[in-house]
Every structure is written in C-alpha cells, then in structure tokens.
Amino acid sequence: MPQIKLLEKKVVEQIAAGEVIERPSSIVKELLENSIDSGADKITVFFDNGGISRIKVVDNGCGIEKDQLLLAITPHATSKITNAEDLYSVSTMGFRGEALASAASASKFTLSSSSTLDGAGYKISSYGGQAGIVEPIAHVKGTTVECLDLFFNLPARKKFLKSEKSEKLSVLSVIEHVFAAFPTIHFVCIADGKKLYDVCAVDNHRQRISQVAGTDFARDLIYCRNENSEMSAEIYICPPKNAKQKPKYQNLYVNLRKIDNNSVSAAVRESFSRFVSAYGNKPSWFCFLDIEPSKIDVNVHPTKQMIKFDDEKALFSFIFRTIFRELERYQGNAINPAAKTAHTQDYLQHSQQNFAVEEKKENKYELFTNPKFSESPENPSQISISFLDMVSARREDGKPLGTGINDNVWENIACFQIHNRYIAVSVTDGLLLIDQHAAHERVLYEKILDSMETEIESQSLLFPITMELKPFEKEILLSVNEFFSKSGFDIKDFGGNTVAIYSKPADFLYESQIKEAIEDIIEQFLKENNAHVLSSVHRHFAASYACGAAIKFGNALKNEEMTSLLTALFSTKNPHICPHGRPTFSKLSLNEIAKRFLR
C-alpha cells in the first residue's frame, strides 16, 4: 500500500508552481489521473451542470488507508515522490501532491475510500478547506471523490468560469483525452444524469479510438510505428483523403500523458502535407510516444500540459520520418522513390533550422494553380463599375446595388479564384479580394434567418445517410433539430450514437458534403464565442449553419459559381462581414497599387 508523506520544503520549492484547479475540467483531469495511478480498471465520472455543481469520480483501485485520508487532502503530500531526484523519473500521472488539497479547498468535498475487500471504509469531508473528522462508512475497495459547488467560497474565481455548456465541453474534452490513452480501463461517464460514455476495456488503441471517436473514423486510420534507442512511437493518422481544414483530433500522449508540443504537431503536419493535394488540409491523429522518463522533464507546467524534451530536433525528425515512411507505403509509391528520398532529406535539414516552412509551400503551390479565367472559353470583359459607389449608394437607400446597375452586374465582370480560397475581381477603382468562405457564410446566414419565418425547401435523399456521432454531439444535434428541419434537413434518431438523414436543403449542399456540413454545424454550435454577434438562439443557429454549410477554403469554384456568389453577397443586408464578424472582402485601391510601383 503506497504511503503518503509530506514533501520536504526544498522538494516543494522545486515543483513548478501554479494553479492546479482552474475550472471543473481541471478537477476531473486530476481525479482521473489519481484513479489511474491507483491501478483501477473501472472508473466512473459523474458531473452535473458542467461540473460546477457536482463532480464525482469512483474507482476500484488500491484505496486509501484510514490514517492516510487527512494526509491525502493536505497540500504537498504525496505517495508518488519523496525527493527532488524522483522528479526526473516520475512514472505516475501525479506527483505534486496538490490536487486533492486544492479541490478540497475550493469546494464542498468528500473523500471516501476502502483499501480492503471487507466493505469497511472511511471518509473525510472538507468544507472549503476546513477538514472534518475521519468517519467509518461502508465502501467497496477503491475510492470515491466528490466535489460539490465548486468555488462556492471563492466568488472571484467563480466569476471566471464560462457558461455551463462551455464547462461541460471542456470536461468532455478532458474525459475523451484520458479515455483514449487507457484502452484497458473501463470508463463510464454520466453527465446531468445521462450516460454519455460506457467504454468497456479493449485490447488496443485503435479499438479505444473507435469507442471514443466512431468506428468509421477509427477503421480508416493508418498505423505507423517506429522506435530508436530513446523512444518509441505508435501513431494513428487519418488517410490523406480524409484530411480536413479543421481536423478533430491532434492528440499527443507522452508516456500516456496528454500534452501539447509544437515540434510533434509541426512534424506531423509537415510530413502529412507531402501527401495531400488540397492546400491547408490537415490530418486527425493520435500519437502515443514512449520515452525514457529521464529524457524529459514533466515538471515545467503546473497542470503538466507541457513537458520539456532533451532534444526537440531529434523528436521532430523521428516523428516526421515515422509518418512519411508509412504514408509513402500507403500511397503505393506513386512518386519516383529516389526523388522522394532526396526531398525528405532536404526537407529535414531545412526544417531543423526552422519549422516555419509555409512560404516554401506557398511557392510550390503557386506553380500548380491555374488562374480560373484561363480555363473559361471566353474571358468576360471587364466593365466599368465603381465598387465604392455601389456599396455607399446601397447604404443610403437601403436597397441592394442601388446604383442603377442591374443585379446581374457581376456576371460581366472578370474574376478569378486564388488558391481555391479567394476571389479576385477587377473593379474600376482597384482590385477587390473576396474571402469565399466568409462571403458564402454571410449569404447563407441571411437566407437561414429569413427562412426562420418561411421554411426552406427540402429535397429527399434517394438513400438515407446514417451518421455516427459522439454522444454529446448527438444530444446537441437533436436539441436543435427543429432548426435543422426548418433549414431543409430531415434528421432522425437512429438508435445508439447514430442519426439518419432523410432529406437536405434543396438548393445548396452536395450530397457528398452533408456529413461534413452537419459535423461542422455541430462544432460551430458548440463554440460559444462571439456571443455578442450571435445574441439569440436563431442567430446562433443561423451562424453555425452558415459556417458549416458554406463553401470551404480549398473548394475550386467554377466561373458561374463565383459570379453567383458575388451577386448573392452584394444582395445581402450586410455584405461587409461574415456572421462571426470577420470581413468578407478587402479592397486594394488603384492608388495603393500605384504606390507599390512607385508611380
């Protein structure tokens, strides 16, 4: 049975200082880590109201003895390290001896535990840090920690908590991160009385990823493995065809601890970018790195979110090569192997000096991008139109394009697409650059807002599409299903974590893009920023919908598509900004252009 001891002052002074408990998710993370360190193979997390009103974690680990309970909630008391040298060989998740003490001082707290199989246990309570006495209770072997009313005694800190929804998302994100790393532990999560996860023990990471992120997603992941004398890596990365502008998972675990590290992310991104055609599409990935504890320093960040590696450059090339090698095999040696190897060497040398290689990629990309106008049989002639006139005249009379020029004006203007992201249009007094995604967002946003009164036309799908979601995503989707149906979708619960889509909005969205659009809409819905712009539920939905369903960066547009987008944008009530407040276009005046040429 591990003995909890108070750390000596000089050891405490060497531990990275800082707040351990910032919000409910930090408590959940610490409690899960404690349960994992206790050797439990079943852990249940309950939380209510985003964890603000209640967090409870129950495990079947080794338990805590009666005479150790008070020590467990005392600051700087731990069973995991004794002296400063131990900090360099930590193999447990925890080591600071602060989590329970911090949680106890910030809530109405109870620690109950039994270290024996006879059902006899003990508990200790603490009211905002005021510890009570140890009392006997019945408890199966293992430990239960409960925190009620977080920050009830610290109103200044409570003020910094976000909304319940944000806190809930943050807890779920922590939970997912932890669940993914420990496939052999059975985890259950119950939020506000609803069972969101019940992931039984499985044999390997892929099966666990499948439980957390969905079976289709997990099945497609490419497995890469590599090792050298100092570390070994197991990486699961999505195939290039599934890369996205905003991938969902970019999870790095070092010795099963979820951490952030720029070298690893850069290595994955750069290696992968050799295999994707659409610029900016990035992979989802899970990387499990196993490193000798003495080669890293886990004691650099209070919540252990970052760690220090002895040699980041070596780490970069290790990850880069691991992925490159496997993706090369996966792609079936499509490119000349000799040229490719030379390229990798060259690249590694370059990137070890500097990870910022964006510029190089831009140049390479430009060589392959044909300006759209050269593809169209007849170049539309440029007509004289002053963009400023157009917009300002609109503002005065409130009508779209109120210059006397007809609404089809954009059809006669030369425009072309840049990098499948922006549309460039020549106007009388300069050059107009339009952000295709933001512009389309604005158009859809207003359309959906209008349709909140009159329903949007819907089109039945020949074959319903089924879609596997995360439990929380499904909950969100069904809770706003009324809005989905108003915007032309027919979505029904299909049992388990699945929904079925029977129809889609008639006049936009290709069938192949439905799933991604719905995922994006949900994701947008989960983000709560820009509350001032999205003041009501309707607006919130419309903005989420618009962002999810709008043309993406990377989508090639035909000439007609560009002109109809421009027409639609400049017929909206407010063409200047997207629903999230970003500009939809920017203008470079002839004067500014002239200045650049010193005219």
d(CA 486, CA 542): 11
Q: Does 97 bind ligand ADP (CB under 6 A)?
A: yes
- Of the ranges 91-99, 219-227, 238-246, 406-414, which one interacts with Mg ion (CB under 5 A)? 91-99
Q: Decide whether 34 or 458 has the Cβ nearer to Mg ion.
A: 34
Q: Could you tell me which of 495, 545, 506, 538 has the C-alpha nearest to residue 522?
A: 545
Q: Does 59 bind ligand ADP (CB under 6 A)?
A: yes
Q: Does 72 bind ligand ADP (CB under 6 A)?
A: yes
Q: What angle do CA 64, 70, 76 make, to 5 degrees?
A: 95
Q: Rounded to the nearest 10 degrees, what angle do helices 164-181 and 205-213 cross at?
A: 160
- Of the ranges 54-62, 259-267, 288-296, 562-570, which one interacts with ligand ADP (CB under 6 A)? 54-62
- Of the ranges 94-102, 168-176, 380-388, 591-599, which one interacts with ligand ADP (CB under 6 A)? 94-102
Residue 554 touches which of ligand ADP, Mg ion, none (CB < 5 to 8 A by kind)? none
Q: How far is the CB of 146 from ligand ADP (least distance, A)?
A: 12
* One of 61, 430, 554, 575 touching ligand ADP (CB under 6 A): 61
Contacts of 16 by beta carbon, 8 Å cutoff, 6+ apart:
299, 300, 301, 302
Bridge partners of 139?
none
* One of 95, 151, 197, 416 touching ligand ADP (CB under 6 A): 95
- Of the ranges 31-39, 68-76, 218-226, 521-529, which one interacts with Mg ion (CB under 5 A)? 31-39
- Nearest residue (beta carbon) to Mg ion: 94
Q: Does 61 bind Mg ion (CB under 5 A)?
A: no
Q: Decide whether 99 or 509 has the Cβ nearer to ligand ADP.
A: 99
Query: What does the H/E/C string look like for 214-259?
Result: CHHHHHHCEEEEEECCCEEEEEEECCHHHCECCCCCEEEEECCEEE
d(CA 106, CA 245): 40
Query: What does the H/E/C string look like for 8-73?
Result: CHHHHHHCCCCCCCCCHHHHHHHHHHHHHHCCCCEEEEEEEHHHCCEEEEEECCCCCCHHHHHHHC
299 backbone dihedrals φ, ψ, rounded to 5°:
-100, 45
Q: Decide whether 302 or 464 has the Cβ nearer to ligand ADP.
A: 302
DSSP class of residue 513 equals G
Q: How far is the CB of 254 from ligand ADP (least distance, A)?
A: 18
Helix H or strand E segment including 105: helix 99-105
Q: Does 139 bind ligand ADP (CB under 6 A)?
A: no
Given the DSSP bridges, would you call strands 186-191 and 285-291 parallel, antiparallel or unpaired? unpaired
d(CA 49, CA 24): 10
Alpha-carbon 320 to chain mean position: 22
Q: Decide whether 304 or 504 has the Cβ nearer to ligand ADP.
A: 304
* One of 48, 98, 446, 468 touching ligand ADP (CB under 6 A): 98
Residue 211 touches which of ligand ADP, Mg ion, none (CB < 5 to 8 A by kind)? none
* One of 58, 100, 169, 224 touching ligand ADP (CB under 6 A): 100
Q: Does 99 bind Mg ion (CB under 5 A)?
A: yes
Site size with ligand ADP, rule: CB under 6 A: 24
Q: Decide whether 71 or 221 has the Cβ nearer to ligand ADP.
A: 71
Distances (CA, A) of 353 to 360, 361, 434, 556: 14, 16, 35, 34
Residue 254 touches which of Mg ion, ligand ADP, none (CB < 5 to 8 A by kind)? none
Q: Decide whether 7 or 514 has the Cβ nearer to ligand ADP.
A: 7
Query: What does the H/E/C string look like for 293-348?
Result: HHHEECCCCCCCCCCEECCHHHHHHHHHHHHHHHHHHHCCCCCCHHHHHHHHHHHH
d(CA 426, CA 564): 16
Q: How far is the CB of 260 from Mg ion (least distance, A)?
A: 20
Residue 44 touches which of Mg ion, ligand ADP, none (CB < 5 to 8 A by kind)? none
Q: Does 78 bind ligand ADP (CB under 6 A)?
A: yes
Q: How far is the CB of 159 from Mg ion (least distance, A)?
A: 27
d(CA 226, CA 374): 46
Q: Decide whether 126 or 317 has the Cβ nearer to ligand ADP.
A: 126
- Of the ranges 12-20, 95-103, 171-179, 293-301, which one interacts with Mg ion (CB under 5 A)? 95-103
Q: Could you tell me which of 197, 194, 312, 196 has the C-alpha nearest to residue 262?
A: 312
* One of 29, 30, 347, 552 touching ligand ADP (CB under 6 A): 30
Residue 430 touches which of ligand ADP, Mg ion, none (CB < 5 to 8 A by kind)? none
Bridge partners of 254?
257, 289
Residues that bind ligand ADP (CB under 6 A): 2, 4, 30, 34-35, 38, 59, 61-64, 72, 78-80, 94-101, 143
Residues that bind Mg ion (CB under 5 A): 34, 94, 99
